């Protein structure tokens, strides 16, 4: 949807309210969550009034999902977030999420993601498993991809797609299996290990593609041009990678960190298996830093996130190239439709101010801004930047696991706006 002047005024007022709320709620550490509220309504006395976590106990938060998103249309589904301590302190808290959705854009989405610390933090395991029956437009490579499109697309009928002439609708199915295990080196916070990274795209339908030159709708899409140039089958392809990772993690909580940092760097070697994949090597990194602003209330903090993907050699299939909204938890690029920016190489940066709103810790808020750069064959990585910004509200679902229900509004540089519902923080 487009952002008009009344929407812009509403957004400014919302930001001012958040900033004032953040200033008046500095005196008390979080003490209530949604369960406390419902227990009070039901006149139930909860004997577990302390914030300490119990080893071996699952802390679950369940969220029915009914909503709308530009990339999905109207959707219905559910999400389950879990947290668990697998060992006595100093074992870190583990977390995971399972969600499923069906949408009016003929999508079926099933995701399972996990971050698990085993006893004593000796091993750290990360998983990202997906089954998608999906529809989504793509927009070419790079940030200023309108110029890229003008160079590469030939058509006799641009009016057939309506106002969004850059959108190239696609249908595809995706099976993803990412699993990684790293082991702590000595008594340090440094880990090293290996992972398996598999993406298989099949039944790919490039709906705007028309290769018949005599046709009035003759149109060569970015996906087809890229696949043809790099000798990929445009209807089916995949990546089969071995990932070597070095990381460090001092966060006090994976789901909702108040202090600490996380940084990882990986070398991903995609292996050619069969006729529908190619060899390639990518350098990947992910860095997060959390800076507390108040000793009295740790929910006042600045959070920073940066991730990137650099293609060192070889070719990666079009839909497997780095793209906003396609990170592990689909949280990057708030303010833009998922997949709006894609590149041979990509760098994403985000900063967020988090603060409490209610004194009892039930409600909080965030203000954020992000910046995306991506390269194509004609523009380098930092030639153009796309800026997104927004604000959000948080409701604490589980104070022990620090699980929040998050609702964000995002505004993009192309005047797009979107609302996001999730469990757990964006990063």
Please give the pLDDT value at position 81.
86
Q: What single-letter DSSP state applies at residue 92?
A: P
User: Which residues, 6 or more positions from 46, have their beta carbon under 8 angstroms from its beta carbon?
Assistant: 35, 36, 39
The residues of the chain scoring below 50 in pLDDT are 1-30, 47-49, 146-163
Please give the pLDDT value at position 45.
54
Please give the pLDDT value at position 230.
96
Please give the pLDDT value at position 330.
87
Nearest by Cα to 319 from 413, 206, 210: 206
Q: What is the torsional sign of CA 421, 423, 425, 427?
A: negative
Residues 327 and 291 sit within 8 Å (Cβ to Cβ) = no
As beta bridge partners, residue 408 has 392, 420
DSSP assignment of 244-306, as one string?
Answer: EEEEEE--S-SSS-SSEEEEEEEEEEEPP-SSS---EEEEEEEEEEEEE--SS-TT-EEEEEE
Tokens of 155: 């058509």
Please give the pLDDT value at position 159.
35
Residues 113 and 128 sit within 8 Å (Cβ to Cβ) = yes
Q: What is the torsional sign of CA 255, 259, 260, 262?
A: positive
* Distance separating alpha carbons of residues 182 and 125, to the nearest angstrom: 7
Residues 296 and 273 sit within 8 Å (Cβ to Cβ) = no
Tokens of 204: 């790919």
Structural domains present in the chain = 5-423 (2.40.160.50)
* Distance separating alpha carbons of residues 427 and 425, to the nearest angstrom: 5
For 157-197, how does the pLDDT look when each residue is reduced to its tens digit (9 = 90+)?
A: 333 333 457 889 999 999 999 999 999 999 899 999 999 99
Residues 115 and 124 sit within 8 Å (Cβ to Cβ) = yes
What's the whole-model pTM score? 0.83
Tokens of 346: 């990509």
Return the HEC string of 217-259: CCECCHHHHHHHHCCCCCCCEEEEEEEEEEEEECCCCCCCCCC
Please give the pLDDT value at position 101.
92
Residues 199 and 239 sit within 8 Å (Cβ to Cβ) = yes
């Amino acid at each position: 949807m487009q952002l008009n002047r009344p929407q812009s005024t509403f957004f400014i007022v919302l930001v001012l309210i958040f900033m004032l709320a953040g200033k008046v709620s500095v005196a008390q550490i979080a003490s209530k969550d949604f369960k406390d509220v419902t227990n009070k309504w039901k006149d139930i006395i909860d004997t577990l009034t302390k914030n300490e976590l119990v080893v071996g106990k699952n802390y679950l938060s369940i969220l029915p999902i009914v909503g709308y998103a530009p990339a999905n249309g109207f959707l219905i589904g559910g999400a389950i977030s879990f947290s668990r301590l697998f060992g006595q302190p100093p074992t870190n808290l583990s977390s995971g999420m399972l969600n499923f959705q069906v949408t009016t854009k003929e999508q079926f989405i099933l995701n399972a993601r996990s971050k698990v610390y085993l006893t004593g933090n000796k091993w750290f395991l990360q998983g990202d498993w997906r089954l998608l029956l999906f529809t989504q437009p793509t927009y070419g490579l790079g940030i200023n991809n309108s110029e890229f499109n003008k160079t590469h697309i030939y058509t006799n009928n641009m009016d057939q797609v309506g106002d969004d002439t850059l959108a190239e609708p696609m249908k595809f199915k995706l099976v993803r299996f990412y699993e990684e295990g790293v082991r702590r080196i000595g008594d340090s916070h440094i880990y090293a290990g290996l992972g398996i990274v598999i993406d298989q795209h099949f039944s790919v339908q490039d709906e705007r593609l028309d290769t018949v030159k005599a046709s009035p709708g003759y149109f060569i899409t970015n996906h087809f041009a890229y696949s043809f140039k790099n000798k990929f089958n445009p209807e089916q392809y995949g990546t089969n990678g071995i990932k070597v990772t070095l990381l460090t993690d001092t966060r006090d909580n994976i789901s909702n960190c108040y202090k600490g940092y996380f940084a990882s760097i990986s070398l991903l070697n995609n292996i050619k298996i069969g006729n529908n994949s190619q060899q390639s090597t990518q350098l990947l990194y992910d860095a997060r830093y959390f800076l507390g602003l108040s000793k009295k209330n740790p929910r006042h903090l600045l959070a920073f996130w940066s991730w990137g993907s650099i293609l060192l050699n070889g070719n990666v299939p079009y839909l497997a190239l780095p793209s906003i909204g396609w990170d592990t938890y689909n949280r990057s690029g708030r303010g833009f439709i998922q997949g709006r920016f894609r590149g041979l190489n990509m760098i994403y940066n985000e900063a967020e101010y988090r603060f409490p709103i209610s004194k009892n810790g039930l409600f909080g808020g965030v203000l954020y801004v992000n910046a995306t750069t991506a390269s194509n064959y004609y523009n380098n990585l930092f030639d153009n930047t796309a800026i997104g910004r927004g604000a959000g509200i948080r409701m604490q679902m589980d104070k022990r696991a620090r699980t929040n229900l998050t609702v964000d509004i995002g505004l993009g540089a192309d005047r797009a706006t979107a609302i996001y519902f999730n469990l757990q923080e964006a990063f």
